């Protein structure tokens, strides 16, 4: 029944106008890139290890319109797929993660809530409008607690501790988002990490603002429509309906346009997009070594199943070697003592991520960084 009603409503609306190109483009902003400190702290505050991988990118997507045009909805109907996809999974903070930015400004300062994945029509949290960081005046930015979101990676532009792209809406119209027919549970991992999804795809659904939403800056007229955090390849495909100053409606689609829908190269090139995940650094650096790094060999690195630790050069006939494997928050996941010069450790049941291998004896102690894949 939903499909019939939704399709009928768009059919009725579509005869009211001829598109006038009020949509200028979709803007994709790299809002933040997660570093090791974010990942460690996020995982240590009641979360699951590896939930927020290092190098995760938070993308914000905006609809850019001509002045006096209003955003009605981002939609999908027959032959017009709406698709949001990652090659890994979407991130949501487990304390307050949600499918819309329904947390408060105060809550946005906690943990990694501000990196949640969600859809919206304008809002970045309750009573606060989402704007491009470059348009933020820098007054009263979020003061993140406990050192979260302090990364200043230049690939993400302006640091969020300087200009956070969150602006009060006290002098702006109130926006109430509504959505129909989209399985948004895939981006909500607040209650179940296993529910994190890779693909949101529909040919029958929308999220919308009744009456239309206009930009906080009426000249640039840019509206935030979603935020997505992932460490994978990220892509999207949107269809957008906007309202012209004369109250007529304009439809912009990626594929299969009909007579009342706009499809041109300038707009179509931004209605869909693909963003390659940053290349993970294969960091196998020796981070502490008391003697010579020729005394211990650890391989392969990265490791999938079996990690081999060769300590032949230590000549430890009369003393045992202690081996500890420690995760990034300091938890010991493997601890062994051995007289053997070659020790093989089964890593198959250990979660993927970064670990430290500590090798020590009565006269030696050395720590190495490895990656479990």
Q: Please count the residues of the chain.
A: 373
- Return the closest-CA partner of residue 206 out of 227, 226, 235, 188: 226
In percent, how much of the chain has pLDDT > 70? 80
CATH fold for domain 286-372: Immunoglobulin-like (2.60.40)
pLDDT tens figures, 12-38:
333 333 445 899 999 999 999 998 888
- pLDDT at 2 > cutoff 60: no
Q: State both tokens at 39.
A: 């990942």
Three-state secondary structure string covering 314-345:
HCCCCCCEEEEEEECCCCEEEEEEECCCEEEE
DSSP symbols for 176-228: -EEEES--GGGG--SS-GGG--SEEEESSEEEEEEEEE--SSTTT-EEEEEEE
* Angle ∠(242,244,246) on CA atoms, nearest 5: 150
Domain with CATH 2.60.40.3080 in the chain: 286-372
Task: Identify the CA nearest to 227 among candidates 165, 149, 292.
Answer: 165
Q: Quote the pLDDT of residue 10.
A: 38
As given in the structure block, the two tokens for residue 210 are: 């009744």
Query: DSSP assignment of 154-190, as one string?
Result: GGG-S-TTT--SEEE-TTS----EEEES--GGGG--S
Provide the β-strand partners of residue 242: 71, 250
Query: Is residue 273 pLDDT above 90, yes or no?
Result: yes
Span 326-357, pLDDT tens digits: 877 677 899 998 888 888 999 988 988 888 88
The predicted model scores a pTM of: 0.70
Would you state the pLDDT for residue 220? 92
**Helices (H), ranges, 248-314:** 265-271
Tell me the pLDDT tens digit for each residue of 145-189: 667 888 888 889 999 988 999 987 755 555 567 878 777 776 765
Quote the pLDDT of residue 66: 96
Sign of torsion, CA 183 187 190 196? positive
């Amino acid at each position: 029944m939903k499909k019939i009603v939704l399709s009928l409503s768009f059919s009725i609306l579509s005869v009211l106008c001829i598109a006038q190109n009020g949509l200028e483009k979709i803007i994709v902003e790299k809002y933040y890139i997660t570093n090791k400190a974010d990942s460690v702290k996020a995982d240590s505050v009641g979360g699951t290890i590896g939930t927020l991988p290092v190098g995760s990118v938070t993308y914000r997507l905006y609809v850019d319109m001509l002045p006096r045009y209003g955003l009605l909805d981002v939609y999908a109907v027959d032959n017009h797929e709406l698709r949001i996809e990652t090659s890994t999974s979407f991130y949501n903070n487990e304390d307050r993660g949600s499918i819309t930015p329904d947390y408060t400004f105060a809550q946005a300062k906690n943990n990694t809530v501000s990196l949640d994945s969600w859809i919206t029509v304008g809002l970045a949290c309750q009573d606060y409008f989402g704007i491009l960081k470059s348009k933020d005046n820098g007054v009263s930015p979020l003061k993140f607690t406990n050192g979260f979101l302090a990364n200043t990676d230049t690939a993400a532009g302006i640091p969020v501790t300087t200009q956070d792209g969150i602006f009060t809406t006290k002098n702006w119209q109130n926006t109430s988002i509504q959505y129909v027919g989209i399985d948004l549970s895939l981006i909500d991992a607040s209650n179940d990490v296993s529910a994190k999804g890779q693909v949101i795809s529909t040919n029958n659904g929308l999220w919308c603002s009744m009456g239309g939403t206009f930009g906080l800056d009426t000249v640039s007229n840019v509206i935030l429509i979603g935020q997505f955090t992932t460490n994978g390849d990220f892509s999207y495909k949107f269809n957008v309906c906007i309202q012209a100053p004369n109250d007529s409606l304009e439809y912009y689609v990626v594929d299969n346009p009909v007579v009342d829908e706009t499809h041109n190269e300038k707009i179509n090139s931004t209605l869909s997009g693909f963003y390659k995940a940053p290349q993970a650094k294969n960091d196998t650096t020796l981070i502490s070594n008391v003697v010579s790094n020729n005394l211990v060999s650890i391989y392969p690195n990265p490791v999938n199943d079996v990690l081999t630790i060769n300590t032949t050069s230590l000549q430890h006939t009369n003393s045992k070697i202690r081996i500890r494997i420690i995760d990034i928050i300091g938890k010991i996941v493997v601890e062994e003592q051995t007289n053997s010069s070659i020790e093989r450790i089964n890593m198959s049941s250990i979660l993927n991520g970064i670990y430290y291998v500590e090798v020590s004896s009565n006269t030696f102690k050395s720590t190495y960084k490895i990656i479990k894949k």
